[in-house]
Amino acid sequence: MRSDALNGATLLGPSHMGSAASDMGMTITEKILALASGRQRVSAGDVVVAKVDRVMMHDVGAPGVWDVFQELKSRGVDVSRLFNPGMIWMTEDHFVPPPDPKSAENVRLMEQMADMYGIKEYYRFGLGTYGVCHTLAYEEALVLPGQVYVGTDSHTVTSGALGAFATGMGHTDVAYILLNGKNWFRVPETILFRLNGRLRDGVMGKDVILRILGDIGADGANYMAMEFAGDGVRAMPLEDRMTVTNMTVEAGAKNGIMAPDEQVIEYYREKGKSGFPALSSDGDAEYRDVHDYDLGRLEPMVAKPHSPANAAELSEVEGLEVDEAYLGSCTGGKYYDMVQAARILRKANRKAKTRFVVVPSTTNVYRRMLREGLLDVFLDAGAVVGPPTCGACIGGHMGVLGPDEVAVSSTNRNFPGRMGHRTSKVYLASPATVAASALEGRITDPRRILGGGN
């Protein structure tokens, strides 16, 4: 079994897989899927049946899975027991606190599912720790390097920053996995992005992925793995890396991934987690394409309406007036994101000139902001600080835009109507840019406030 094969393994890079494996030339994505399917090697294009280690459901996805179960039940399929309730974790994050009766009904349905199937890892709003699923997965060490992890959310790819094969799936696939513990996957081709150098002050992981999306387009990695490597990755904080992998799905990618380095291993060690395979790609692995980036030359970026791939250097739109600055979501509400935004507010020491909405992504982030005085920084700048939720990012609540309003937002999508009215316009940007823009009431290069010019 796969668990036996991985027992006690701490590193399975090229020099630790044996001479036969070393000659295979596999990528990290291929290695994970090979282990999960009990194969010595797999190649891009292979179809495998792989064991799934972890499954995430939230208050938008779980009701859809429940509906599939009811349909299967009507056909005579036994859905009274799950393959392994211990592989599942759930959180309420999208429409919480519930803004309407339907949202409250979905939360109630999740409670019933947890009780019926004995799902113990359940993070509920108003009862302690909860928050945006992709940040919570990291904070609570719910997903480990080398694992196959699926979720009822397209941005499940976020956890690839920690060395897992992480991907979002539809309700039917997730329902099948819950009942059988496995699913089929076509092994994706891999595009390698070599990130070298170090980001300058005021430039963040969001700028990196927006630059890449602008270069390869919204369909530039359809059903492919986007792998990131290089000393530029190693220089990034883990939470900034997560922003990069999070938005790989905006290029159509099956997964985004980074080989776990010592920073990742140490993080899990602090969480009491060890014995996982810290896989890395072989030196002779085959890639569909390779792209090189010098992070030291990267400028702050924005994604103009209405696509994350409609990227441009911030200088092209600098000065554009905005009605709202939104700081939150899985690409803007993490602790590191809040720290970078607060730096700018402290430096300027004045109030925002436009509506400023700040939403920490989890209660853990919220508590830390409170302990370290960051809440006061945002409140002193005039911001409204809300409870953890995905609400505004999906146009549900807590910052929804009205007709023709313009927002600069740290979220990950800016499709028509994504954050509210279909005539509203969303410019995606880094948390640093959002904070600077809130202060000026117009899209602003954060380096102007930090003192680095542009």
Distance set, CA 367 to CA 121, 274, 364 (Å): 21, 27, 5
- For residue 131, what is the DSSP state? B
Say which CATH class 28-295 falls into.
alpha beta
pLDDT grade for 9, boundaries at 50, 70 and 90:
very low
What is residue 6's predicted lDDT score, i.e. its pLDDT?
27
pLDDT grade for 24, boundaries at 50, 70 and 90:
low
pLDDT grade for 454, boundaries at 50, 70 and 90:
low
CATH of domain 303-448: 3.30.499.10
Q: Report yes or no: 386 and 367 within 8 Å, Cβ to Cβ.
A: no
What is residue 452's predicted lDDT score, i.e. its pLDDT?
64
What is residue 22's predicted lDDT score, i.e. its pLDDT?
44
Question: Residue 161: is its pLDDT beyond 60?
Answer: yes
Q: Is 330 annotated as a binding residue?
A: yes
pTM higher than the cut 0.85: yes
Q: Judge if 28-295 and 303-448 fold alike in CATH terms.
A: yes
What is residue 374's predicted lDDT score, i.e. its pLDDT?
98
Q: Check whether the bond before 97 is cis (ω within 30° of 0).
A: yes
In three-state secondary structure terms, 421 is coil
DSSP 30-93: HHHHHHHTT-S---TT-EEEEE--EEEEETTHHHHHHHHHHHHHHTT---SS-S-GGGEEEE--
- Per-domain residue ranges of the chain: 28-295, 303-448
State how far the Cα of 105 lies from the Cα of 73, in Å rounded to an integer: 21
pLDDT higher at 379 or 23 = 379
What is residue 1's predicted lDDT score, i.e. its pLDDT?
28
Question: In 3D, which of 91, 71, 176 has the Cα closest to residue 132?
Answer: 91
pLDDT grade for 222, boundaries at 50, 70 and 90:
very high
Q: Check whether the bond before 291 is cis (ω within 30° of 0).
A: no
Q: Report yes or no: 174 and 69 within 8 Å, Cβ to Cβ.
A: no
Burial of 311 (0-12, 13-18, 19+ CB in 10 A): buried
What is residue 355's predicted lDDT score, i.e. its pLDDT?
98
Q: Report yes or no: 282 and 15 within 8 Å, Cβ to Cβ.
A: no
Q: Is 390 annotated as a binding residue?
A: yes
What is residue 8's predicted lDDT score, i.e. its pLDDT?
28
What is residue 14's predicted lDDT score, i.e. its pLDDT?
36
- Partner residues linked to 260 by β-bridges: none
Average pLDDT over every residue of 422-439? 98
Q: Is 133 annotated as a binding residue?
A: no
pLDDT higher at 20 or 165 = 165
pLDDT grade for 23, boundaries at 50, 70 and 90:
low
Encode pLDDT of 76-121 as tens digits. 999 999 999 999 999 999 999 999 999 999 999 999 999 999 999 9
What is residue 3's predicted lDDT score, i.e. its pLDDT?
31
Instruction: Give the end-to-end CA distance of the chain in Å, rounded to a whole number.
Output: 55
In the chain, count H helices and then E strands. Answer: 16, 20
Average per-residue pLDDT in the chain? Answer: 94
Token pair of 450 as six digits: 């930090």
Average pLDDT over every residue of 155-171? 98
